[in-house]
Structure 1
Amino acid sequence: MATPRLELLHEAPTTAARNAPPLLFVHGGFCNAHCWRPMMKKLAGAGFACYALSLEGHGGSDGRAYLPMIGIADYVNNLAAVGADFASPPVLIGHSMGGFVIQQYLARHPAAAVALLASVPPSGLAASSWRLTTRSPAMLMRLNLYQQGQYQPDLAELREMLFSPAASDRTIAEFARHAQPESQRAVLEMAFVPPLLQPRLPDVPALVLGATGDALISADDVAATARRLRSPAEMLPGIGHMMMLDAGWERVAARLLSWLDTLHPAKYVDAAA
Structure 2
Amino acid sequence: MPSQTQTPGRSGPQGGYRVSTRVAPRADGPALEIVETVPDGPRVGAPLLLLHGAFGGAWMWAEHLGPYLARRGRASLAVSLRGHGGSEGRERLREITLDDYLADARFAFDLLPQAPVVVGHSLGGLLAQRLVGRSRMRGLALVCSLPPEGLALVNARAALTEPVVWLDAFVGATAPEASAMTAGARHLLFSEGLPAARVRRYAALMTPEAPRALSQAHMPGPVLSAFLTRLPTLVLGAAQDRLVWRSCTLRTAFYHAARHETLDQAGHFPMLDVGAEALGRKLVAWLESEGL
TM score, norm. by length of structure 2 = 0.84
Once residues 8 and 154 of structure 1 are traced to their aligned partners in structure 2, the CA distance between those partners, rounded to angstroms, is: 23
Deviations 1:243-267 (A, max 9, x none): 1011121111110111111122xxx
Matches of 2:135 and 2:92 in 1, distance apart? Answer: 26
Following TM superposition, by how much is the alpha carbon of 1:134 offset from its aligned partner in structure 2, in angstroms? 1.9
2:126–2:146 CA contact under 8 A, matched in 1:
yes
Q: SS where residue 11 of structure 1 aligns? A: strand
Superposition pairs of residues 168-247 of structure 1, within 5 angstroms: 168-193=195-220, 197-201=222-226, 202-247=229-274
Aligned-partner residue type, residue 230 of structure 1? A
Aligned-partner Cα distance in 1 for 2:30–2:181: 33
The residue identity in structure 1 corresponding to 2:75 is: A
Contact 2:39 2:73 in 1 (8 A): yes
Paired position in structure 2 for 1:21: 46
1: CA distance, partners of 2:70 / 2:247: 32
How far 1:61 sits from its partner (Å)? 1.2
Q: 1:198 to 1:229 in 2, by over 3 A?
A: same
Instruction: Give the secondary structure class of the aligned counterpart of 1:93.
Output: strand
The structural deviation recorded for 1:203 is 2.2
Which stretches of structure 1, 4 residues or more, deviate above 6 A after TM superposition?
none
Helix, strand or coil: the match of 1:61? coil
Which of the two has greater strand per residue?
2
* 2:69 maps to 1:32: no
The answer to whether the Cα contact below 8 Å between 2:165 and 2:185 also exists between their aligned partners in 1 is no
C-alpha distance 176-89 of structure 1, shift in aligned 2 (>3 A): same
3-state SS of 1:161 partner: helix
- The aligned runs of 1:18-167 (5 Å cut-off) are 18=44, 20-37=45-62, 38-149=64-175, 151-152=178-179, 157-167=184-194
Give the 3 Å change call, closer, same or farther, for CA 154–244 of structure 1 in structure 2. closer
- Report how many residues are paired: 262
Q: How far apart, in 2, do the equivalents of 1:103 and 1:53 lie?
A: 17
Please state how far the C-alpha of 1:163 moved relative to its aligned partner.
0.8
Which aligned pairs between 1:242-261 and structure 2 lie closer than 5 A? 242-261=269-288
Deviation, structure 1 residue 105: 1.4
Deviations 1:144-181 (A, max 9, x none): 12321365487864441111110012321221121001
Task: Tell me the secondary structure at the aligned position of residue 25 of structure 1.
Answer: strand
CA contact under 8 A between 1:203 and 1:229: conserved in structure 2? no
- Alignment partners' CA distance in 2, 1:86 and 1:171: 32
- The Cα shift of 1:97 comes to 0.4
The sequence identity of aligned pairs, in percent, is 31
- CA RMSD after TM alignment: 1.9
State how far apart, in whole Å, the 1-side matches of 2:193 and 2:110 are.
39
Letter in 2 for 1:124: G
- Code of the residue aligned with 2:204 in structure 1: it is R
TM-score by length of 1: 0.89
